[in-house]
Amino acid sequence: MTADLPVGIHDLALRTSSLVLTHAELAQHTGADVVKYHEGIGQRSMSVPTADEDIVTMAADAAAPIIELHGTDRIRTLLFATETSIDQSKAAGVYVHSLLDFPPYVRVVELKQACYGATAALQFATALVHQDPAQQVLVLASDVARYDLDSPGEATQGAAAAAMLVSADPAILAINTPSGLFTQDVMDFWRPNYRSTAVVDGKKSLYAYLQALDGAWKDYQAHGGLPLDEIHTVCYHQPFTRMAFKAHQHLLGETGTQADAAAVDHAIAPTTGYNEIIGNSYTASTYLALAALLEADDTLDGQTVGLFSYGSGSVAEFFTGQVAPGYQAALRTDDHRSVVDRRRPLDYDTYRQLRMAPTHTNGAHHTLPHHAQGAFRLAALRDHQRIYEAVPATT
């Protein structure tokens, strides 16, 4: 048996969409005080996809540098987590399999439970690698967070993908046991099959998130988890970054730990760097928080970090990981900053036009103009099919 072998995240790459709307621009048109956005919810800008970008193009883009570095030889499973699926039947990961030229012996499946799906995928991947440490698993988390225009959720939109290569002897983060789990049937946020935007009870969702944190933490403790003061910091799911600060304050209170706002800020601020400028990326959000933390602090060798994953509806998990010694060498910091910085700014009118553009659902042939900046794009819709293509490096 290989129970003691460290297994976890060996490589981690992020991608986001090509357009960005700042909250300063949004505030000028919604009439909200921009301080509400910047301080109240902790958001500065949101990524917006072009018409030729979606969860597949972002995920393929995130996975490509990982495959370029490590190859596909050891990968036998590709898990794709999303809550903004593009098909009711076919797994989005099959398109990624094709775009990145995976061998046919790699199985592909899609996982869904709101924002929690990627954590389920990571745990399933870890178990598969424990079963056969020669194998690696590619976990993809990709989402476009879209709320109704002029709704309170609009300011928390975003889009991103995280790709994680899970392997034995990971270079970034070994996943520890135990995990604390919590499931509750609650209608705080959901998206019926006939809707392109989520239905959300905002205030209820905040309460449900904190209840799930309590439940997952209690289960973590019941299974022999570490006390909070032995955990360096926690990477929380960040539907908006202020939620992570609220969650940490709440958990400190629940565990009877004294901490003022400055201490909470000090612990959580390093985890929010990507989410505050990208917005909610649902399944990818917790892993954007992890990347932000590791990239912001090069002194974490051997430290234990907590991860809290929350998916509305709801399922939550609290677990920890051990930062690998020398993790700094495995990070993709410059690459991540460049994909964030290259986004083209959107003015509000163009953003509205983009959001209100008709969706093509009649199965006819629609060619999509090339606006995506990434390595892959949705080139056309034809016969009810999505036609993806790799973008030649020169264009």
In angstroms, give the least distance from the CB of 31 to ligand CAA. Answer: 11
Contact between 240 and ligand CAA per CB under 6 A: yes
- Tokens describing residue 269: 């601020």
The type of residue at 67 is I
In angstroms, give the least distance from the CB of 225 to ligand CAA. Answer: 22
Contact between 318 and ligand CAA per CB under 6 A: no
Answer for which of 12, 20, 41, 125 binds ligand CAA (CB under 6 A) is 41
Answer for which of 237, 248, 332, 336 binds ligand CAA (CB under 6 A) is 237
Answer for which of 39, 68, 132, 347 binds ligand CAA (CB under 6 A) is 39
Which residues from 111-130 bind ligand CAA, rule CB under 6 A?
115
CA–CA distances in Å: residue 305 to residues 144, 222, 320: 27, 19, 5
How far apart CA 148 and CA 156 sit, in angstroms, is 11
Contact between 29 and ligand CAA per CB under 6 A: no
Answer for which of 162, 243, 278, 331 binds ligand CAA (CB under 6 A) is 243
Pairing assessment for the beta strands 180-183 and 234-236 based on DSSP bridges: unpaired
Considering only the stretches 61-69, 128-136, 147-155, 321-329, report the one whose residues sit in contact with ligand CAA under the rule CB under 6 A: 147-155
In angstroms, give the least distance from the CB of 29 to ligand CAA. Answer: 15
Catalytic annotation, residues: 83, 115, 237
Residue 61 or 188 with smaller CB distance to ligand CAA: 188
Edge-to-edge, what's the strand order for the sheet holding 344-345? Answer: 45-48, 19-22, 344-345
Pairing assessment for the beta strands 180-183 and 45-48 based on DSSP bridges: unpaired
Binding characters for ligand CAA, 279-308, by CB under 6 A (x = yes): -x-x--------------------------
Number of residues in contact with ligand CAA under rule CB under 6 A? 27
256 CB burial (10 A radius; 0-12, 13-18, 19+): exposed
CA dihedral 279, 281, 284, 288 (to 10 degrees): -10
The answer for residues whose C-beta is within 8 angstroms of residue 41's C-beta and 6 or more apart is 155, 156, 240, 241, 242
Please state, as a whole number, how many other Cβ atoms lie within 10 Å of the Cβ of residue 110.
Answer: 22
In angstroms, give the least distance from the CB of 257 to ligand CAA. Answer: 20
Contact by Cβ (8 Å): 171, 12: no
In angstroms, give the least distance from the CB of 61 to ligand CAA. Answer: 22
Contact by Cβ (8 Å): 302, 322: yes
Residue 65 or 152 with smaller CB distance to ligand CAA: 152
How far apart CA 361 and CA 382 sit, in angstroms, is 10
Instruction: HSE, CB side, 13 Å, CA atoms: give it for residue 61.
Output: 28
The answer for residues whose C-beta is within 8 angstroms of residue 256's C-beta and 6 or more apart is none
Contact by Cβ (8 Å): 309, 317: yes
In angstroms, give the least distance from the CB of 250 to ligand CAA. Answer: 12
Instruction: HSE, CB side, 13 Å, CA atoms: give it for residue 9.
Output: 26
In angstroms, give the least distance from the CB of 141 to ligand CAA. Answer: 12
How far apart CA 70 and CA 96 sit, in angstroms, is 16
Residue 292 or 324 with smaller CB distance to ligand CAA: 292
Binding characters for ligand CAA, 196-235, by CB under 6 A (x = yes): ----x-xx-xx--x--------------------------
Considering only the stretches 126-134, 195-203, 226-234, 329-337, report the one whose residues sit in contact with ligand CAA under the rule CB under 6 A: 195-203
How far apart CA 196 and CA 55 sit, in angstroms, is 14
- Tokens describing residue 18: 């090509």
Binding characters for ligand CAA, 244-283, by CB under 6 A (x = yes): ------------------------------------x-x-
Which residues from 337-376 bind ligand CAA, rule CB under 6 A?
none
In angstroms, give the least distance from the CB of 118 to ligand CAA. Answer: 12
Residues that bind ligand CAA (CB under 6 A): 33, 35-36, 39-41, 115, 152-153, 155-156, 188-189, 200, 202-203, 205-206, 209, 237, 239-240, 243, 280, 282, 310, 312
